[in-house]
Chains A and B, each alone.
Chain A
Amino acid sequence: MEASKQFSKIMQGKLWKFFGGIKPKELKRTQDTPIEELPIPALITIPLDRHLGPDGEILVNVGDYVKTGQVLTRPGGTRYVPAHASTSGTVTSIAMSVLPHPSGFSGLCLTIKPDNKDVCVDFNGISNFKEVSPRELINIIRDRGIEGLGGAQFQTATKLQAAIDEGNVCNLFIVNGAECEPVATCDDRLMQEKADEIIQGVDIVAHILQPKLVLIAIEDNKPNAIKAMSLALQKREDLKDLVQIRVIPTLYPSGAARNLIKILTGIEIPYSEHTSECGIVVDNVETVFAIKEAIIDGKPLIKRVVTVDGSSLHKKGNALIRLGTSVRFVLTNYNLIPQRKQRIILGGPLMGFTIPSIDVPITKSTTCVLAPSTNDMEFAPPEMNCIRCGKCARVCPSRLVPYQLYAYSKAQKHNEAKKCGIDDCTECGCCSFVCPSKIRLAAQFRKEKAIASLIAENQYRNLRAKERMAIRNERLEKEAKEREAKKKAALARIAMQKNGTDDAQLKAKMIEEARARAKAKREAALLKQTETQATNIDPVEIKGNMLMSNAGLRQEAKMSIKLDIALEADTALQENSNIKAALPFNLRQGAVKKHYQGYNATNREIVKHTQNVDIIEYKGVHTAIESMDKNVAITTQNNILNTAKKLPLNLRKDKNQCKLQ
């Protein structure tokens, strides 16, 4: 009952406030420059990794002729969308190429040499979408490659699907026209110029979701867009009751989905929940526009509006750019006069990233291309000590205490950082913006999250390895038992043959029993050990000399005639292999050697040495590790070090970053 009261409040236009937020200079200089379409560039590069998935398929070959809008990939699974050719031409290569990423990663890209004719495939639009079922519409949206154009590039079809899946009812559809990033004006211009089409798009989404209410949220620094949208809405009698335009106060980051939801509904959706499962769907205006194009005109998503701004450019404005156009082409068209160490930023000044190369394509997530001069945006000044002024905590929209998080993260205390809520951080950059000591808080959090995900991945792998280890141990045990049984039978046979008397039989039986007892004892001890051992990684062979010792033991066992020795060696071997597996990763190779070096033994001596003492020694190591407690702690620490190399460049130690600069 209370919830519906909430809903009526929302209907009446009540606005809430989210915690924190900042008011940076808006810098929206391109608010009044109309969107202009950029010409066809000399080369189109389309990154494919978001369009393939695990078992996707590239549908064209090098040398093929493709038309504008032709499907290039068939993605595996519904989590990905197909890629489309953004102009007609010949496919010249399918190879690794630099991606628009802060570290300059390369990934699989498809390159098209345009023929400048722009020959289109036939677009089959649906004029009367109301007769098509939502499910089909969603499939069309997916096939036309629609993804979130607000920057996050979340797949729209999946979002819509989740909102109407069984059990979920969509009550509220929010069109996000907040555009809170400074400088960015692409959504603003689009609303001013294509208001009617956006409303049509809203109509389509409303048909799919059947919400009780649609809100179009626009920040109050866009009066023209508000006017245009209201006009367009007035023309549509049928949508009047359903759709409302909400003017919200200008505050960064009100455009982030959860913050926008808080403003419009007063509900805080925890970061652990999906918004679509809460009966609320948020989509960017440009995405809604793309949905309209996809459904009504049948056009796939091959162009997007990008704000091009910055004092190093002679011309500024909003450009309709074909996806895959290189940033270099865009900048050339806008007359870049580069400075020393010119920064090129993809995305807004608060969340965008500088790119190390301008030969990267524009993708669906590119909202802005900025080429700021130092007058515009200064280079980051050196960091000073945190004075705990608490400004960062006052602006964090996720209600975190950034300086605390930062301290934990810097000290590599990942668990504490997690407890403090690092997962809630949206990397919005508010904290870095206000910090008087100019500490790069948001950058540290980005890094921390990357490290945390690496650790999580490692832990997952460890777990898997543990499982495998357990299975292996079981198998070994079974095998040992079988061997034992065989040996017993053989022994009995020999005894029978030799003595043939009852007396001898009895004796043999007694011996056997005694042995069985001894064995049971040994096994119990063994079991105990297997239980307590720190099995974290698949048994890795310990390096040459250890292997040799094992092999030696094994051979000895084989050659020995005496049964008891064989048994002994068998157990020893087994014990040995158990201990071997018990060693944590960091102690396996170099550490083992080091351990022995402590005894002043050369490598060759170790071989001899180990043949006699290894078991004892290993036990020593083993207990030492156990007492050190928690393999995970050790291995994760160790793995971080190991995986540091795998970290993307921007996430590595600052040193490297400096080097890059």
Chain B
Amino acid sequence: MQITVKSAKQNLGIETAPHIRDNMSTPRIMLYVIIALVPAFITTIFFFGFGVLWQFVIALISSLICEVIVAFLRSYKLKHHLADHAYIVTALLLALTLPPLIPWYFTATASAFAILVVKHCFGGLGQNIFNPAMAGFIFLMISAPSSFYQTYVTPSAYAYKIASLDASASIILEGRDPQELRMQLKANLENADIITGATYLESIKTAKKSGIDDQINNIDFLGHDFNAYFYLALAYILGGIFLIATKVILFQMPLSFLITIFIGGYIWHNLAPNVSLSGIEHLLCGGTMLAAFFIITDPVTNAGTSKGRIVFSIFCALLILLIRVQGSYSDSVAFAVLLANATAPLIDVLTKRRSFGIGYKKGGLQ
């Protein structure tokens, strides 16, 4: 039993079955995710100013450098290593979640943390337990809380005119005080005084805590001041639909996630109106929509089977509600996602799929 000389000489191509493959590939999946994020990205620029674009550029450069270092350390072929585009997605998500005016070194550190520690220390793409973007976000939020809160801006229409490329660059890159620009952006609103914090979510939390939430209650998400949230959510949904249509994500995941948040928020609000936001507010504020379509659907860090993924989504949604209402941070998506990530292996075990032929009765067909 051996290869004969004759056969070796024929120089035929050898390859393992199957010989045909689906044309969906990992780089393409990542590309679709990037495309799906474009509407949201543009909307964010519109409402938050060009700071987001700078953040993206910084995060991208930082993660690219990190990936190159990793490729060098692990002696991977650079071209092959960078082909998966996953680091672009991470950079985009970071840019969308970090405060738009945060100084560049923070962004660069967060991105480096996400790539080097969260992703590659665990074994690289596909092996990481935690979502890199979310972990990078939290890393910054915990280690530099003050600058974190000082650089968040209040969304308002045409913010990109005020926070122009130059204006935001001078803050992000040159380290000018962001306070002036933030005030300008806030002045853009009609009723700027009812917003006490940077964002609606932050303000309403403060209001509810101190017991004076009448003013800020029942706001109109289509009105001038708050339509940013509405349009942003719309942009995320648009991207999400694109991902669902291209079969990159399962529609069950965002659906079960959003339904849980809405119903959970609705019930909690009705039970304790001065503690919880209403269902719709839960849906539109903070990172809910981003999480629904782009964060919890990250294949790497959630459960394996479809059933497990739905359980994961619901669990994550409940965590978001709980932390948002009871926690001290203004938004909770990142924390909830990381916690849910940690439980994913457990969910995997609990939702183990039955094997083929269970329930078969001896004797078969009678």
Contact = CB atoms under 8 A, between A and B. Distances in A.
A390 B86 CA distance: 17
A623 interface: no
B304 A390 contact: yes
A399 interface: yes
Given A354-B15, A432-B18, A433-B21, A660 B3 contact: yes
B184 interface: no
Contact of A103 (B3, B20, B26): B3
Interface stretch (B124-132, B211-219, B269-277): B124-132
A47 B347 CA distance: 52
Given A342-B13, A350-B19, A650-B16, A7 B305 contact: no
Contacts of B361: 3
B83 interface: yes
Contacts of B24: 391, 434, 436
Nearest to B30: A387
B355 A421 contact: yes
A442 B16 contact: yes
Interface in B316-366: 353-361, 363-366
A403 B17 CA distance: 17
B84 A352 contact: no
B300 A387 contact: yes
B14 A660 contact: yes
Interface in A63-111: 98, 102-107
A394 B252 CA distance: 14
B16 A104 contact: no
Contacts of B2: 105-106
Interface in A230-287: 258, 265, 267-273, 275, 277-280
Contact of A388 (B16, B84, B126, B306): B126
Contacts of A25: 20
B3 A269 contact: no
B309 A436 contact: no
A356 B360 contact: no
Contacts of A103: 3
A326 to B, nearest CB: 12
A633 interface: no
A273 B363 CA distance: 10
A431 B191 CA distance: 56
A247 B202 CA distance: 61
A271 B357 contact: yes
B365 A386 contact: no
Given A105-B1, A380-B15, A660-B3, A385 B20 contact: no
Contacts of A584: none
A343 B356 contact: no
A379 B365 contact: no
A182 interface: yes
The binding surface of chain A is classed by DSSP as loop
A398 B12 contact: no
Contacts of A661: 13-14
Contact of B11 (A268, A341, A650): A341
A403 B357 CA distance: 21
A574 interface: no
Given A3-B361, A438-B21, A357 B4 contact: yes
B360 A270 contact: yes
Interface string B219-236: 000000000000000000
Interface residues of A, number: 96
B146 interface: no
A393 B303 CA distance: 12
B341 to A, nearest CB: 12
Interface string A381-404: 110111111110110011111011
Contact of A358 (B10, B22, B304, B309): B10
Given A357-B7, A357-B10, A399-B354, A279 B365 contact: yes
Nearest to A252: B18
Interface residues of B, number: 53
A389 B355 contact: no
A267 B365 contact: yes
A398 B355 CA distance: 7
A380 B16 contact: yes
B175 interface: no
Contact of A432 (B21, B25, B86, B124): B21
A29 to B, nearest CB: 14
A105 B357 CA distance: 35
Nearest to A443: B16
B304 A388 contact: yes
A544 interface: no
B357 A269 contact: yes
B365 A355 contact: no
A357 B6 contact: yes
B29 interface: yes
A442 B300 CA distance: 21
A168 B124 CA distance: 54
Which one of B4, B360, B365 has the greatest number of beta carbons of chain A within 10 Å? B365
Contacts of B83: 384
A6 B18 CA distance: 36
A424 B84 CA distance: 32
Contacts of B142: none
A391 B21 CA distance: 13
B15 A403 contact: no
B360 A268 contact: yes
B299 interface: yes
Nearest to B80: A382
B9 to A, nearest CB: 9
A429 B17 contact: yes
Contact of A354 (B11, B12, B363): B12
A107 B306 CA distance: 46
A253 to B, nearest CB: 11
A172 interface: yes
Contacts of A433: 18, 20-22
A344 B11 CA distance: 11
B356 A354 contact: no
Interface in A401-437: 401, 403-404, 421, 424, 427, 429, 432-437
B304 A403 contact: yes
A466 B359 CA distance: 38
Given A349-B18, A353-B17, A278 B7 contact: no
B73 interface: no
B366 A171 contact: yes
Contacts of A280: 364-365
A442 B18 contact: yes
A269 B305 CA distance: 23
B25 A436 contact: yes
Nearest to A648: B1
Contacts of A432: 17-18, 21
Interface string A357-370: 11100000000001
B209 interface: no
B176 interface: no
Given A279-B365, A385-B125, A429-B17, A359 B6 contact: yes
A485 to B, nearest CB: 53
A442 B3 CA distance: 23
Contacts of B14: 102, 343, 354, 356, 650, 657, 660-661
7 contacts: A267-B364, A352-B19, A359-B6, A380-B16, A401-B353, A432-B18, A434-B24
Interface of B: 1-4, 6-8, 10-22, 24-29, 80, 83-84, 86, 124-127, 299-300, 304-306, 309, 353-361, 363-366
Given A267-B360, A356-B7, A399-B354, 9 more contacts: A268-B359, A273-B364, A279-B363, A379-B13, A380-B15, A401-B304, A424-B356, A437-B25, A440-B16
Counting from the closest, the 3 A-B pairs by CB-CB distance are A278-B364, A270-B357, A357-B7
Interface of A: 3-4, 6-7, 10, 19, 22, 24-25, 98, 102-107, 171-172, 182, 258, 265, 267-273, 275, 277-280, 341-345, 347, 349-359, 370, 372, 377-382, 384-391, 393-394, 397-401, 403-404, 421, 424, 427, 429, 432-438, 440, 442-443, 446, 648-650, 657, 660-661
